[in-house]
Chains A and B, each alone.
Chain A
Amino acid sequence: MNIMPFPRPRRLGKVNVPTVTLAHGGGGKAMKDLIDDVFVDAFDNAALAPLEDQARFDLSAIAALGDRLAFTTDSFVVDPLIFPGGDIGKLAVCGTVNDLAVGGARPLYLSCAVIIEEGVTVDFLRQIARSMAVAAKDAGVQIVTGDTKVVHKGACDKLFITTTGIGAIREGLTLGAHLARPGDAVLVNGLLGDHGAAILGARGDMALETPIESDCAALHGLIDALLAAAPNTRALRDATRGGLATVLNEIAAASETAIEIDETRTPIREEVKGFCEILGLDPLYLANEGKIAAVVPAEEAEAALAAMQAHPLGAGSSIIGTVNEGEAGRVTMKTVFGGRRIVDMLVGEQLPRIC
């Protein structure tokens, strides 16, 4: 990567007060110190170092990696900010990396814009930034530019993060929900619903004690392995908000096919089942942060499964169903009991039931 070298190294600023104040968003020295101390120190890379208003990259170097640029953005407002299995920082990196990866892109660079509520401790911010740095390093991406705003108390809920990412898609690789065809197999890479259950449990409203952790992870390595074994993969979606049910409905609608899955082959952790039984929630609609649904031609399904199972993030992979002719956009499930039910789009928010 051909990047303008910075003229000379400089000393990074430091924040000497415990909490963030409006001054830290004011554009002056206090803000510089905050950015240096918290973000530059953690992210530490050559593209970020010049701290210009933009990061710059040699286009030919990117073009060498593919013939299309993938570009995505996501905001993260998760509550609580720290939860079993991760935190908002890790989520912000993995979420955007995954959005690139499910398009077949190799994730390259991320931006990081934060909105901080005054009163948040600087130590907490350092923890989140470090978490992002670790996640970025694991994912092989760099956080190269960002923005920092501080708002007065009550204007945001402690911390909001927006990450935008770019990646390169190699020539000849085209994935799309509309490409699913009758006969295709539907696969997932493991246990569903962990993230949603972990978050709901961590919020504490229902006073449930669970060992469930978020499955938050960057999936491009798994996806590379999958695409190597199943080069004619039609579509990939990460099953985030709205869960597996939502992405299946999206795929069925886009491709005008019907999808049927088998409840007995849909992997759900025992504790998540217990959690859902107590609250009356449907695990198919719980969010995931490390799970994809893959639509693969039938003849490549076994190879796809083997490749995912061999990867650390795909040990629990399963072929869960098929794409069929039938009512366009209809997703059904053969229940564990032998009957059949419709798996519709989620309406509003899934609320815990008593009934």
Chain B
Amino acid sequence: MKYIDEYRDRDKAAVLVKEIEALVAEIPLAKERPINIMEVCGGHTHSIFRYGIEGMLPKEVELVHGPGCPVCVLPMGRVDDCVSIAEQPGVIFTTFGDAMRVPGSKKSLMQAKADGADIRMVYSPMDALEIARKNPDRDVVFFGLGFETTMPSTALTVLQAEREGITNFSVFCNHITIVPTLKAILESPDLNLDAFIGPGHVSMVIGTAPYEFIANFYKKPMVVSGFEPLDVLQSIWMVLKQIKEGRADIENQYVRVVPDDGNAAALDAVDKVYELRDFFEWRGLGSIDHSGVKLREAYAHFDAERKFALPNLQVADPAACQCGAVLKGVIKPWQCPLFGTACTPETPLGALMVSSEGSCSAYYQYGGIKAQAGAA
């Protein structure tokens, strides 16, 4: 397939691996400790595991899997809110597939569906709007999930609903922003990161300028990366080059898709429909200021939070959950005492085990680390 197969080329991979090895040999810091590169985005985590990239890198390079997985950081209280909306009579609750298995304090959406709630998986918010058109006597709610990548899609759908005068459609908005997340990681005292692989599709919307503070203030290099394995390897190579040359810049490896200025139409729609929340709760990371968005007053009639009475409770993670520490890259998944024992993909306790990109789930399923569970 075009624009996919070329970026899975094995020979070019071998070339990059050689270059990476050569670079690492010339980085003095690598002789004392591993070079810690965090890939922020869940999609990158998935690629790394699916293609076995970690195993191709020299041992001096360590990949730290970051919190850029919006499903992983969904607090249990918000899942409870979803279930509460879905269980209201007449509601059709629509959601992306990934969110179906995240456990709430009593049940997940999957379980609520088994119990009789009308919960439907959709590929696109547009499909949810179509369900609303086809079911005028039902209340259709779309679970708006994701970083800035999906914000425009949800916003454009709301604008389309408004244009058509559709009144039985609303959005339960859980969109979160990437920059406060990055700041929280950079501010974390127990972190020892040398560089970042930046989120490719968030950047497609917001451009590369918002990350300047990472280079200018925190003096860490970042390379915005595509998602094919060659993209990820190339980005790692570019990051190592910066480290070797003592630079800290924001570079764009994903130039074929990411414009440095981002996407104007998408940003306009986002600005029109949303405003920043003062703070938003993240599972495992606690409350982060200005890290989430909600629908503006002008779109109140599309806001599920205003339409439905929600329990809106803060539900704490199980006490032994170490999701926060893993999310920040402070500990590895198998160092969590619950990993592979009480917490497995079949019986996930924390969000990192639920989503196919959560690093715990990835290690468990792709990395064969369950054998090491308990052998911290």
Contact with A205, one of B56, B122, B146 (Cβ below 8 angstroms): B122
- Residue pairs across A and B with Cβ atoms less than 8 A apart, 18 shown, are A207-B123, A207-B124, A207-B130, A279-B123, A337-B9, A337-B229, A338-B52, A339-B53, A339-B229, A341-B50, A344-B366, A347-B346, A348-B346, A351-B121, A352-B98, A352-B121, A354-B97, A355-B71
CB atoms of A352 and B97 under 8 A apart: yes
If A330-B368, A342-B368, A348-B101 touch, does A336 touch B123 (CB 8 Å cutoff)?
no
A209 at the interface (CB under 8 A from B): no
Cβ of B80 to closest chain A Cβ, rounded Å: 20
Bound complex: CA of A355 vs CA of B121, how far in Å? 14
If A338-B56, A353-B98, A355-B43 touch, does A344 touch B355 (CB 8 Å cutoff)?
no
B residues near A (Cβ < 8 Å) are 1, 4, 8-10, 13-14, 42-43, 46, 49-53, 55-56, 69-71, 96-98, 100-101, 120-124, 127, 130, 145-146, 150, 229-230, 344-346, 355-357, 364-368, 371
Cβ of B65 to closest chain A Cβ, rounded Å: 13
Contact with B51, one of A205, A274, A335 (Cβ below 8 angstroms): A335
Contacting residues of chain A (196-210) with chain B, CB-CB under 8 angstroms: 205-208
A residues near B (Cβ < 8 Å) are 205-208, 270, 273-274, 277-280, 327, 330, 335-342, 344, 347-348, 351-355
Bound complex: CA of A292 vs CA of B8, how far in Å? 28
Q: Which residues of A contact B98 (CB under 8 A)?
A: 351-355
Q: Which residues of B contact A340 (CB under 8 A)?
A: 52, 55
CB atoms of A205 and B13 under 8 A apart: no
CB atoms of A355 and B123 under 8 A apart: no
Q: Which residues of A contact B122 (CB under 8 A)?
A: 205-206
If A337-B51, A339-B55, A341-B50 touch, does A206 touch B368 (CB 8 Å cutoff)?
no
If A205-B121, A336-B10 touch, does A355 touch B357 (CB 8 Å cutoff)?
yes
Q: Which residues of A contact B345 (CB under 8 A)?
A: 347-348
Bound complex: CA of A347 vs CA of B8, how far in Å? 27
CB atoms of B1 and A341 under 8 A apart: no
CB atoms of A344 and B365 under 8 A apart: yes
CB atoms of B127 and A207 under 8 A apart: yes
* Closest A-B pairs by Cβ, 9 of them: A339-B52, A351-B97, A347-B345, A352-B97, A206-B123, A338-B10, A337-B51, A340-B52, A354-B96
